[in-house]
């Protein structure tokens, strides 16, 4: 592998530290902010050089797709899609075209997906607006108290909710972690999956 410039060494160090701390690599914007670059072109030029020299693995145009190669640690990277909270033909739509590189220890299963939180209804569970929840779509039989993602039918409208699941006899309800949001029950609801993780991006 070719010797690195001082700036490339600094960027590689930042990539590794960010990856170790967060479990996923930084975006071009975050690298720009860290090193006070004036444009994303400077970042991509350095990342391309690091890739050619064998220190970074880039994966197309995926968000957070520049993963540092560390000979002392195998991250076993899995690429997890970020889906929208919109519904079309009964399915979640992936119109964001974003994929996040996560260590398998965090992603857990390559069939899992990420969903962005759009309200504060689960703030009591430390799930904030703008966070991303990691969802296991194969787990649709949750236990009481589990946090789930579900599709709710309201007249002609459908929406995606993130709530705690509770079943008492024949009564199923979905409860927020915010007193300003009443429980939802006696609705046409189908569970999409169980929340198994949380990703909070640094601002």
User: Which is the catalytic residue, given 66, 163, 176, 194?
Assistant: 163
Structure token pair of residue 95: 């119109």
Is 163 noted as a catalytic residue in this protein? yes
Among 81, 105, 84, CA closest to 95: 84
Structure token pair of residue 43: 């970042």
User: Which is the catalytic residue, given 66, 121, 151, 176?
Assistant: 121
Q: State whether residue 61 is helix, strand or coil.
A: coil
What is the maximum alpha-carbon separation in the chain?
67
Task: List, in order, residues 6 or more apart from 147 with CB less than 8 Å away.
Answer: 122, 125, 127, 133, 162, 163, 164, 165, 194, 195
With beta carbons less than 8 A apart as the criterion, state whether 115 and 93 touch: no
Catalytic residues: 121, 163
């Amino acid at each position: 592998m070719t010797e690195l410039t001082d700036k490339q060494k600094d960027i590689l160090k930042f990539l590794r530290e960010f990856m170790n701390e967060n479990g996923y690599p930084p975006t071009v914007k975050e690298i720009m902010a860290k090193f006070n670059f004036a444009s994303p072109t400077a970042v991509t030029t350095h990342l391309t050089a690091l890739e050619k020299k064998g220190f970074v693995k880039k994966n197309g145009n995926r968000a957070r797709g520049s993963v540092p190669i560390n000979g002392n640690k195998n991250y076993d990277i899995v690429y997890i899609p970020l889906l929208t909270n919109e519904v079309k033909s009964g399915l979640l739509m992936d119109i964001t075209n974003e994929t996040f590189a996560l260590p398998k220890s965090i992603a857990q299963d390559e069939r899992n997906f990420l969903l962005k939180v759009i309200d504060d209804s689960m703030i009591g569970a430390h799930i904030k607006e703008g966070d991303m929840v990691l969802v296991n779509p194969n787990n649709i039989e949750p236990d009481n108290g589990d946090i789930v993602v579900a599709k709710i039918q309201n007249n002609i409208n459908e929406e995606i909710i993130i709530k705690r699941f509770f079943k008492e006899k024949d009564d199923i309800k979905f409860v927020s972690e915010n007193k300003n949001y009443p429980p939802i029950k006696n609705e046409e609801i189908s569970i999409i999956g169980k929340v198994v993780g949380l990703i909070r991006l640094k601002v």
